[in-house]
Structure 1
Amino acid sequence: MSFNPLKVKALFFDIYATLIDWESGIYPQLLHLSQQLPPSSPLASDTPKTRETLLRMYAANEKTVELENPKLAYPQILEQVYARIASELNVPFSTSDQISFGQSIGTWPAFPDTVAAMQILSKHYKLFVLSNVVNASFARTCAGPLDGVNWDGIYTAEQIGSYKPNSANYNLVVTRLREDFGIEKGGIVQVAQSLDLDHVSGKRLGFEPGVWIKRGGAAMGGNREELEGKGMIELGAIYGTLGEMAVAVEEAFSKT
């Protein structure tokens, strides 16, 4: 692993899955759909297998809808995902439930370690957001579960006009940090839970090896062994939580 906390000037974060426990936010609404199945269906009960299956359905459909509709606002992306999952399950859904799913982003909870860890990291680095949401959704997240976290820059899909993993989204971070803060690409490290989206993109685009927040128990995000075996990712450090990363950073700076 090659992450040296003392050589980094800026961190940019994937938010939903890394700082925000989006799986816990998404799952109850998907379970509402699957519980309309006959009681004999394996997905009709709230079990770990049901959770994993529904979240994997979500991940696959989200990627497809974003690819097919790169200009569609993220709440509407979620509405379409909800409808597609309902169709795959062959269960009815209401328009109000569909809209509620699309608007739920700002209510998804933060991981317990997030806010305190970000406050520690802000003492040592410039902090930036790169997220596939619209500005209003992220504003609700900042005012709610991420209250107390201060950002030096926020870059959303709405501003950029495309969704990750489009290269334009990651390259905008490079451009903005260089032009606005005088920070070159070599001083930037990505912090993300998603291997198959963010860390694959980071390797492809020549970023410094990123920090993987492993988030044990996550159903989405990709398989490390498979992606490393194909040479698609290179990780600079691995931490189980953002809090663990903050402790490691503090320790590194305390020795200088």
Structure 2
Amino acid sequence: MLELNKYKAVTFDCYGTLINWEEGIITSIKPILQAHNVNLAEEQILENFAEFESELEQGEYITYREVLRGVVQKFGDRFKFHPTNDELNSLANSLQYWQPFPDTVAALKLLKQRYKLVIISNVDNDLFAFSAKHLQVEFDEIITAEQVKSYKPSLNNFRQAIERIGLPQEQILHIAASIYHDIVPAKSLGISTVWVNRRTGQQGSGASLPATAQADLEVPDLQTLLGTGYVS
């Protein structure tokens, strides 16, 4: 049993955990591929995205808007087509329309009554501002890649989050859908973790690179976490 009462802050990954980014990615990328006569299964689109995004987030920091533009270019490079400028920008431009999972908003509103809520996200400030409107709660802290100039799974993102939250890591619970981006680095710093396995029953690791780590708790969604006795 995960005793949520011992935590004072709950930190969240945003995209993939709160916002349905895989649907957003497919909705944006698939028409580009089809326009250039490239037919990939949705799982292949997500796996290529995971590879390209990770490559672009290595090394010297670039904005997430630039990362997403680079992802589209890498699809073109791999599958032998030349994206138009509009196509290069379309993935980043689509992010403002990506929607929360059905259980997200209710869970956030419930947790907000008891805990400090924090976002730790691989995104630009202006892009997260669009998503914040969909999430409908006021977060106590928002830590973006743009602010800390690195991308998860870098420990820098989590260390700066701990510093800004102002609590020992033992009082912080991190909730995320990506083992690669979140569970591995958070656990290495002694932060308790909940893996929200949004891909329960599906093959592969989707839009995140495959990784292995044991979260303190695995649930298929936030409704399960809050509604079936896992939390006391």
TM-score, normalization by structure 2: 0.91
Q: Distance in 1 between matches of 2:97 and 2:183?
A: 26
Residue in 2 that maps onto 1:191: 175
What is the identity, as a one-letter code, of the residue corresponding to 2:224? E
Per-residue CA deviation, residues 186-209 of structure 1 (Å, 9 max, x unaligned), is 00011000011211111222222x
- C-alpha displacement of 1:235: 1.1
Q: Distance in 2 between matches of 1:32 and 1:90?
A: 16
Q: Which residue, out of 47, 54, 62, partners 1:63?
A: 54
Q: Which residue, out of 58, 62, 67, partners 1:72?
A: 62
Distance 1:206 1:242, change over 3 A: same
- Which segments of structure 1 move beyond 3 Å, counting only runs of 4 or more? 220-223, 248-251
Residue in 2 that maps onto 1:165: 153
- Percent identical pairs in the alignment equals 30
Residue in 2 that maps onto 1:230: none
CA contact 1:213–1:239 (8 Å) conserved in 2 = yes
Distance 1:159 1:127, change over 3 A: same
Residue in 1 that maps onto 2:20: 21
TM-score, normalization by structure 1: 0.83
Residue in 2 that maps onto 1:118: 108
Q: Any residues of structure 2 matched to 1:233-252 within 5 Å, and which?
A: 233-248=213-228, 252=232
Per-residue CA deviation, residues 135-183 of structure 1 (Å, 9 max, x unaligned), is 100111112x22x2221111111111111122111101111112xxxx2
| 2:76 maps to 1:44 | no
Tell me, which stretches of 5 or more residues in structure 2 are unaligned?
none
- C-alpha displacement of 1:37: 5.3
SS at match of 1:129: strand
How many residues are matched? 228
Q: Distance in 2 between matches of 1:199 and 1:221?
A: 12
CA contact 1:83–1:93 (8 Å) conserved in 2 = yes
Q: Distance in 2 between matches of 1:251 and 1:3?
A: 5
| 2:200 maps to 1:212 | no
Tell me, which stretches of 5 or more residues in structure 1 are unaligned?
228-232
RMSD over equivalenced CA pairs, Å? 1.9
Q: Distance in 2 between matches of 1:151 and 1:201?
A: 22
